[in-house]
A and B are shown apart, each in its own frame.
Chain A
Amino acid sequence: AQKITQTQPGMFVQEKEAVTLDCTYDTSDQSYGLFWYKQPSSGEMIFLIYQGSYDEQNATEGRYSLNFQKARKSANLVISASQLGDSAMYFCAMRESAGGTSYGKLTFGQGTILTVHP
């Protein structure tokens, strides 16, 4: 069974600084995908970034980058130049492959609450 572990219940960062949110995963699949979502206090889930297990380069999306270390089974999210609006809950998730044209469910970690201080 797939498992996602986020060991940091809460993180604090100063505005304009970079912060790393940790995520480790466990799977026996060779093909899988890793995601990060942001959930602000309003509740919606916002897709941030995706990394495929066969992608050789780390994914980047604007200020977000994913530090993918396959051998260590880690997929840490790095947020550069933090902004006050980055304060939210962040979830790491893994997709299992369902085959065909349908991609599988997401398994989520417990989340990390990020607080950005001015």
Chain B
Amino acid sequence: DSGVTQTPKHLITATGQRVTLRCSPRSGDLSVYWYQQSLDQGLQFLIQYYNGEERAKGNILERFSAQQFPDLHSELNLSSLELGDSALYFCASSSPAGGGKSYEQYFGPGTRLTVT
């Protein structure tokens, strides 16, 4: 158990819909990263937050957005869903507030999104 939690585990929805994926980082971790894993694109970085602020953006579509809340949990919002958005979405956390091995990124179990 990495200490990172993600909900829901599975999500099935229709094209055009909007969903929200939730992530709780490891206790004390300040950074949250979102990644997408699909068969054709592999594992891709989407976006990073550090202590509530956006730090870096990757190949994140304009239909996708994210935020990190004061309690450090994060949400990834996916809207106007398309079939190609079907993927496994991972959240990872790092940068413990007290120092330590801040380079390590620990992944949550992922949310498997199926768009039909």
Residues of A within 8 A of B (CB): 33, 35, 37, 43-47, 50, 52, 91, 93, 95, 98, 101-108, 110-111
Contacts and interface: CB of A to CB of B under 8 A. Distances in A.
A44 B103 contact: no
Given A46-B107, A103-B103, A108-B43, 18 more contacts: A43-B110, A44-B109, A45-B90, A47-B2, A47-B106, A47-B107, A50-B103, A52-B103, A91-B43, A93-B43, A95-B105, A98-B55, A98-B56, A102-B30, A102-B50, A103-B95, A105-B33, A106-B33
Task: Summarize A's interface: helix, strand, loop or mixed.
Answer: strand
B94 interface: yes
Interface residue tally on B, bucketed by range: 20 to 34
Interface of B: 2, 30-31, 33, 35, 42-45, 48, 50, 55-56, 58, 88, 90, 92, 94-95, 101-110, 112
22 contacts: A35-B105, A43-B88, A44-B109, A46-B107, A47-B2, A93-B43, A95-B103, A98-B48, A101-B30, A101-B95, A102-B30, A102-B48, A102-B50, A103-B31, A103-B102, A104-B48, A105-B33, A105-B58, A106-B35, A106-B45, A108-B44, A111-B42
